[in-house]
Every structure is written in structure tokens, then in C-alpha cells.
Amino acid sequence: MLRYADLGLLALALPVFVLGDLPLAGYAAAAAAWLAQHGLLAIADRASAAALRRGDRRRALGIVGAATLGRVWLVTLAILLVGLLGEREDGLAAAVLTFALVTLHLGGLAFSKLFLEPEGGR
């Protein structure tokens, strides 16, 4: 559950953006990019696990590396584009929301890997 706390934060951020009269274009860009990168993460996790089951460590590492770089670029470009095509405040709102999402995602992932997964687990 902690691995997906960032999605809960994303859902909770929408009413904050609406009630706080914050730039909804920034929220929409950040939310779309964040959900897309989560989908890419799920696909990459399945593909790398399959490669590991076949004993192909190089392929698994390549999948993880490519997916990580792709996810970073996807989110970064979304922030940049909403800031350039919309108002600067849209880009700032997207960047701040994404910063919070990344922080919570990495914290939840680290906590679940360190304390919740059994030794020798995935």
C-alpha cells in the first residue's frame, strides 16, 4: 500500500487545487504524466521480472534503466511543456506537485523495500 501512496496524494491534491484556485492545467499535466509513468513502471517491472526468471540479468537491468530514464523524461517534459505552452504558474504548480509525488513515491518504495518485503524477495 505504501508503494502507491503517491497516487493517493495525487487524488487528494485535486480538491486542494480546485479549492485553492491553483492552476488546473499544472495539475492536469502533472497528473497525466504521473499516471503515464506509473503505467510505464508497471510494464517495466513485469518485463524485468520475466527477464530475471529466464536468467537474463543484462536484459532486466537494461529494461529498468531505460524505463527509469523514460519516466524521468516523461515527467520533466510534461512540466516543461505546460510551463511553456501555458502560464509560468502552470509549470510551477506541476513542478511542485511532481516534487511532492516523487518524494512520497521514493519514500514509500524505500520503506516497503526495507521493512515490509521478506528477505530474498523481489
Predicted local distance difference test score (pLDDT) of residue 108: 86
91 CB burial (10 A radius; 0-12, 13-18, 19+): buried
Number of other residues whose CB lies within 10 A of the CB of residue 114: 8
Predicted local distance difference test score (pLDDT) of residue 118: 66
Q: How many helices (H) and strands (E) does the chain have?
A: 4, 0
Predicted local distance difference test score (pLDDT) of residue 9: 95
Predicted local distance difference test score (pLDDT) of residue 22: 95
Each of the 122 residues of the chain gets a pLDDT tens digit; together they read 777 899 999 999 999 999 999 999 999 999 999 999 999 999 999 999 999 999 999 999 999 999 999 999 999 999 999 999 999 999 999 999 999 999 999 998 888 878 876 665 54
Predicted local distance difference test score (pLDDT) of residue 87: 92
Cell of 56: 537474463
